[in-house]
Amino acid sequence: MQIRDRTTLTDDLDDIQYVDLKNGIDDAEGIAYLSGAVRLQLTLVARKRPLWQPATSKPDTAAETSRPANASDVDTPTLRLQLPVSANKGRLSKNLRDVLIGLFVTVLGGVVLFLLQPIFQPKELLPISTSVSQGNIPIATTVIPTQTIQVPDSTATSQPTETDAPLTQTSIPPTLSPEQLALTPVTTNTDWNPIERNFKSVAMVLVPAGCFMMGPEMPREGYEELMHKQCLEMPFWIDKYEVTNAQFKAFNGVAFSASQWTGDNRPRELISWAEARDFCAARGSRLPTEREWEYAARGPDNLEYPWGREWNGNNAVWSGNSNGQTANVRSHPAGVSWVGAMDLSGNVWEWMSSLSQAYPYVAEDGREDYFNTLYIRVLRGGSWNYDSAQLTSFLRWNNTALSTNDIGFRCARDI
């Protein structure tokens, strides 16, 4: 290829670049190379240097055409370029094929990833905490909250957008009331933690459902007190303390006799069974059955005493420490039972609603008739003037419903 100009050419042959393209070159690279060479030569021509000073010889692969006879003294340098057209066309087709194949593979890979992305989508974004600090002093802390996003089914054909994935909420089970908790039967005393509530300013403790062995292991002579299993399906409340003189007065209790010991926190004694029954009714309560009372004292562990299996004289008011009289309730907190009831052993005997009838205990046999006055009623717990043998959790005593100074009571109520 020849480049000629009718103007005066540069005299510096060093500025003339020779390119031999007959052996072929990549399409884009060759065109760019040729274009650059042409621009360079045109620039050199524009400089119009005055002298022709050849410095280098032309490459062997380049040839200069002969000058016509009428040509000027200064010739324009000649470049002979041979472009392999057929080879360039082949390379162009191959490049186009490679581009199309690459485009097809890219599109196919994108489709596969698009279909598989819901399967490997993370279920939860973990919290990220970033902190910028200088030395040991933190400058700023940013916490990115977590979001739990509902994961689509693995068979889904499309990926849910951010607006299509609702946030899930952790369901919090409703808090059970104490009565609802107590409906689940306990199997050991340690299964239960005492629960206390005030009813009309009177503290009562909750007794859960459960089973125990009622009666002594060895029956007393002349009594058919055989140990037998009893189960209470319904929880109940029982007074934490024996009814005191102050409480009896606060609820306008009525009794034929006044207490022998009148301190406010002394247990109310010299009270008959009917007077005790009526007082509990005025409070919205009732007398406990002997089955309920023994279960509150022993529990599923079948304890001999409210506090355990061994006698401890420091845990109750009895003949060995009473000085011949009652004591304030809660004087011996170590004698508490597994449900939180105090003074179940000692201080005063306690009236039961139950008639004194032979074991086994059957609530439906008439022994819980409140209005039957033909039989004596059961007493439980022992008192200040009895020894340890009468202060056990299973011992039952009885009385003709008359009042004495060693008999008191406590109330119970249904849930």
* H helices present in 227-386, as ranges: 245-250, 273-282, 290-298
The per-residue pLDDT for 6 is: 43
Counting beta carbons within 10 angstroms of the beta carbon of residue 21, is it exposed (0 to 12), middle (13 to 18) or buried (19 or more)? Answer: middle
- CA dist., res. 67 & res. 78, Å (int): 11
Q: Which residues contact 266 (CB under 8 A, 6 or more apart)?
A: 244, 245, 259, 326, 327, 328, 329
Question: What is the set of domains in the chain, with CATH numbers?
Answer: 178-414 (3.90.1580.10)
Token duo for residue 307: 């506090």
Assess contact for 316 and 347: CB atoms under 8 A: yes
Q: Give pLDDT tens digits for 248-281.
A: 999 999 999 999 999 999 999 999 999 999 999 9
Q: How would you classify residue 293: left for phi > 0, otherwise alpha for psi between -120 and 50, otherwise beta? A: alpha
Nearest-angstrom CA–CA distance, 293 and 295: 5
Question: Whole-structure pTM over 0.85, yes or no?
Answer: no
Ranges of the chain with pLDDT below 70: 1-95, 99, 111-173, 219-225
Task: Please tell me the predicted confidence (pLDDT) of residue 253.
Answer: 97
> Burial of 308 by CB count in 10 Å (0-12 exposed, 13-18 middle, 19+ buried)?
middle
Distances in whole angstroms, Cα of residue 342 to Cα of each of 46, 109, 280, 404, 415: 120, 78, 18, 21, 20
What pLDDT does residue 223 have?
57
> Quick one: DSSP state of residue 330?
T
pLDDT of residue 173: 59
